[in-house]
């Protein structure tokens, strides 16, 4: 029996899908992570926006084009959020975000199985790592309850994986893995015995000799002590993805974000004190219901001032059940589209400026695509190199000119 696992959404979802593939292979199934002909499809869904949920439903019909009689298993945030949206789609079985391994134990069953969200980290599945970059899940859940976000209701409260379990997984990584990316719903909230523990974990992992990279974080993690820890690591990649969401204090307060723009800017200055060429990237939501034109202009000015290396921009998406959906009236699509376009223009300019600041970079070659080897510098600039190299090699290159979403490079 061949099973395809199709993944939407974040790197945590990707890790969990990879773990399911590994477990299925151990049980004797043929698997794929591609949208192709299979006997059954497991769709790991996303619910961060309305569009993400729509794409999750559309994936069912895309899969049926390859096999109209295939069994369809749904799991993840969209089914945890609104199981009813998958009715009438011929779904064999529906799971949520908890107890994912049980889905594999119950493949021959049908119906809806939405389990209670766990209070402790579920550590019963490991991903099979085959690429040069490995995602390692260290945390799940979120305690922040931002007014626009539904994820805490779908993933549960924050809970951390044990350091010993993380280290044991890293010890099993093949030699082909040259970089580790630590992922979670709220990575900055990783704890050891109830205390903030991300620095401790990184120090433990630094001895493996693989590049260490952090996924999206909250700005509260950036302290003098934490930055001193990072600066003392041999293999840390100075790329900080700090979720801003708005550059206006009025909007941040309505979003229930726990910082001001001044505090956020202080964090960025602290990062650059230790890593002058750090890649500082961010997420921004445009068109939050209370955002006025003046508020948006404040965001533009803030983004211009702090000079992010890259922006990930999303129009506000109303999520039923959140505080924002109950308290505020949504803005028009035209307003959101206009602000999205203007911020994207600024983001493109800032990204190009950041690339020009970098003359050299240590590039991990991840794949060959056409005429170019492709990979990323430590501070997360996408590089294209047409010289001699091997996948998995780390080469020091000159960044010569802007190209596609990054830079052409040469020795």
Which of these, 66, 56, 57, 10, lies nearest to 34 by C-alpha position? 66
Distance between alpha carbon 90 and the CA centroid of its chain, in Å? 30
DSSP 221: G
Question: How far is it, in rounded angstroms, from Cα 281 to Cα 136?
Answer: 20
State percent of the chain over pLDDT 90: 94
Judged by DSSP in three states, 394 sits in strand
Q: Is 109's pLDDT higher than 80?
A: no
Contacts of 382 (CB under 8 A, 6+ apart): 374, 375, 376, 404, 405, 406, 407
Structure tokens at 250: 């009025």
pLDDT at position 66? 97
Contacts of 221 (CB under 8 A, 6+ apart): 188, 196, 198
Q: Is 244's pLDDT higher than 90?
A: yes
Of the ranges 122-136, 204-218, 273-287, which one carries the lowest mean pLDDT score? 122-136
**Would the CA dihedral through 82, 83, 84, 90 be positive or negative?**
positive
Distance between alpha carbon 101 and the CA centroid of its chain, in Å? 22
Q: Is 305's pLDDT higher than 90?
A: yes
Q: What is the pTM of this model?
A: 0.94
Contacts of 236 (CB under 8 A, 6+ apart): 202, 206, 211, 212, 230
Which whole number is the average pLDDT over 85-108? Answer: 90
Which whole number is the average pLDDT over 110-118? Answer: 87
Which whole number is the average pLDDT over 38-50? Answer: 96
How many CA atoms are closer than 13 Å to the CA of 17, on its beta-carbon side? 27
pLDDT at position 187? 97
Q: Which phi and psi angles does 273 have, rounded to 5°? A: -65, -40
Residue 106 binned pLDDT confidence (cut-offs 50, 70, 90): confident
Angle formed at CA 244 by CA 242 and CA 248, multiple of 5 degrees: 155
Which whole number is the average pLDDT over 248-252? Answer: 98
Share the mean pLDDT of the chain. 96
Which whole number is the average pLDDT over 270-294? Answer: 98
Per-residue pLDDT reduced to its tens digit, 201-221: 999 999 999 999 999 999 999
Per-residue pLDDT reduced to its tens digit, 329-380: 999 999 999 999 999 999 999 999 999 999 999 999 999 999 999 999 999 9
Domains present along the chain, CATH in parentheses = 2-113 (3.40.50.12160), 133-357 (3.80.30.20), 360-410 (2.40.50.140)
Judged by DSSP in three states, 138 sits in coil
């Amino acid at each position: 029996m061949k099973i395809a696992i199709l993944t939407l959404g974040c790197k945590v979802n990707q890790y969990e899908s990879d773990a399911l593939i590994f477990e299925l292979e151990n049980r004797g199934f043929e698997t794929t992570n591609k949208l192709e002909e299979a006997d059954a499809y497991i769709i790991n869904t996303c619910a961060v926006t309305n569009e993400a949920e729509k794409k999750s439903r559309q994936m069912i019909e895309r899969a049926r084009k390859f096999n109209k009689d295939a069994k369809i298993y749904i799991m993840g945030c969209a089914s945890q959020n609104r199981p009813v949206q998958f009715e009438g789609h011929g779904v064999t079985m529906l799971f949520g975000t908890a107890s994912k391994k049980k889905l594999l134990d119950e493949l021959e069953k049908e119906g809806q199985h939405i389990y209670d969200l766990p209070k402790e980290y579920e550590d019963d599945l490991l991903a099979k790592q085959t690429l040069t970059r490995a995602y390692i899940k260290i945390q799940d859940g979120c305690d922040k309850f931002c007014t626009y976000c539904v994820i805490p209701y779908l993933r549960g409260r924050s809970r951390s994986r044990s350091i010993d379990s993380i280290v044991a997984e890293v010890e099993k990584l093949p030699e082909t893995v040259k970089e580790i990316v630590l992922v979670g719903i709220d990575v900055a909230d990783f704890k050891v015995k109830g205390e903030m523990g991300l620095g401790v974990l990184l120090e433990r992992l630094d001895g493996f000799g693989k590049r260490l990279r952090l996924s999206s974080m909250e700005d509260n993690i950036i302290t003098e002590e934490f930055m001193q820890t990072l600066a003392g690591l041999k293999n840390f990649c100075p790329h900080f993805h700090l979720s801003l969401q708005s550059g206006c204090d009025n909007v941040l307060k309505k979003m229930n974000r726990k910082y001001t723009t001044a505090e956020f800017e202080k964090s960025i200055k602290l990062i650059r004190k230790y890593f002058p060429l750090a890649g500082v990237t961010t997420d921004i939501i445009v068109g939050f219901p209370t955002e006025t034109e003046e508020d948006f202009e404040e965001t533009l000015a803030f983004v211009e001032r702090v000079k992010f290396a890259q922006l990930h921009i999303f129009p506000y998406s109303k999520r039923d059940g959140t505080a924002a959906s109950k308290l505020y009236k949504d803005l028009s699509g035209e307003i959101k589209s206009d602000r999205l376009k203007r911020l994207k223009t600024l983001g493109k300019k800032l990204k190009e400026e950041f690339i020009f600041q970098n003359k050299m970079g240590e590039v991990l070659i991840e794949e060959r695509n056409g005429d170019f080897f492709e990979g990323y510098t430590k501070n997360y600039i996408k590089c294209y190199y047409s010289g001699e190299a091997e996948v998995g090699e780390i080469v020091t290159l000159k960044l010569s000119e802007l190209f596609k979403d990054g830079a052409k490079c040469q020795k």
